[in-house]
Amino acid sequence: MKLSGIYVPHITPFNKDQSINYEALKTCINYWINSGLSGLVTLGSNGEFPYILREERTKLIKTVIDYVNGKTQIIVGTGAPSTIETIKLSKEAIDLGADALIIVPPYYFKVSSQDLIEHYKKILNKIDASIILYDVPKFTGYSVEVTVFEKLVNEYSQIIGIKDSSNNLLHISELIRRIGDKIAILGGTSRVILPTLVLGGKGAIVAVANFMPKQIVKLYKAFRNGNLEEARKIQLKVNQITDFMKAYNQIAIVKAITNIIGLPAGIPRNPIQSIKGEELEKVRKFIEKIELTR
């Protein structure tokens, strides 16, 4: 599997009773596929994977894969706090037909670089599939050292990419300098899509692709076609949006905006609460002001 372009770490719509709304998810999938994205990332951070029950995972993954039916790539998040659980979840996702896996580093307990290397080695020795490694300090509490990624990439050929959500251009540039000729480095935060591409990255997996996929794909294509001015303008608009979003819980604001533009994103799963009342009206007015539509 070759990674390039824009991928959406898609939301999981929930009903008021907190159950998964599969019909709403299918409606959203239709929109994402028709927006020119390179693929979907199921059970990523924006899919609220820590809140998805073990018994719900199989149906959710199978629903997405069966409904997409080969129309686009499906990457499934299978990271867990323990190595043994990550291996189990990874095997299940591959058996269900995932094109690739994205594996977040262990969270809750902080681990050393050596712990992390051994963790990933045990997984990579057990899983024969395309693997994307992930660095997301804001959720794990630590950033993965470039040397860790470099060691793993040099040893395991099934690693096809790294999603870097550090929001640190120095970190991203070092990954590209050291291993960017071997695997795809993907921007993981909306503010660094264009900078990552300029440095030699192959694309991005970003939350804003849930509600503005066409614009993000347009940014990517503008860059690839050499139209840096158009790409720059879109990036600056994205920055304006993400700056506004910082005041809210990420899951809640992504779902609020996705609902406002007319997609059935549903509500977050508790304990995260929906944005309501005056705050929701503030979000609505902002979306109208910047003229963000489907």
- Residues serving a catalytic function are 134, 163
Say whether the peptide bond before residue 271 is cis (omega within 30 degrees of 0). Answer: yes
Which residue, among 245, 240, 243, has the nearest Cα to 279 in the 3D structure? 245
Terminal Cα-to-Cα distance of the chain (whole angstroms): 29
Which residue, among 116, 10, 104, has the nearest Cα to 60 in the 3D structure? 10
Reduced to 3 states (helix: H, G, I; strand: E, B; else coil), residue 183 is coil
Q: Calculate the alpha carbon distances from 70 to 12, 38, 99 in Å.
A: 20, 12, 10
Quick check: 74 and 97 in contact, CB under 8 A? yes
For CA atoms 238, 240, 246, 250, the dihedral sign is negative
Contacts of 161 (CB under 8 A, 6+ apart): 3, 132, 133, 183, 184, 185, 186, 202
Q: Is residue 42 within a helix (H) or strand (E), and if so which, with residue range?
A: strand 39-42
